[in-house]
Amino acid sequence: MNNGMWRYRHAAALGLVALLAGCGGGGGGGSTAATCTADCLSGNVTDGSGNGVSGVYVTATNPSTGQTCSASVGTTSSAGSYSLSASNCGGSTVIVSAPSGGGTVVNTCTVGQTCNINPGTTTSVAAYAGTWTANYSSSTAGGDSGSCSVVVKQDGTIDATANNCKSTQSGDFTLSGAVDAQGVFKGTTTLNATYVGTFNATNHSAVGTWTNTSGGGGTWAATLP
Span 14-65, pLDDT tens digits: 222 222 233 444 443 333 444 566 688 889 998 878 889 888 888 888 776 6
Residue 66 is predicted with a pLDDT of 67
Which pLDDT does position 133 carry in this prediction?
95
pLDDT tens digits, one per residue of 138-148:
999 889 999 99
All structural domains of the chain, each given as residue ranges with its CATH number in brackets, are 23-122 (2.60.40.1120), 126-223 (2.40.128.120)
DSSP for the chain, written as a single string = --HHHHHHHHHHHHHHHHHHTSTT---TT-SSPPPP-TTEEEEEBB-TTS-B--S-EEEEE-TTT--B--SS-EE--TTSEEEEE-TTS-SSEEEEEEEETTEEEEEEEETTSB--B-TTTS--GGGG-EEEEEEEEESSTT---EEEEEEE-TTSBB-TTT-EEEETTTEEE-EEEEE-TT-EEEEEETTSEEEEEEEETTTTEEEEEEEETTS-EEEEEEE--
List the chain residues with pLDDT less than 50.
1-34
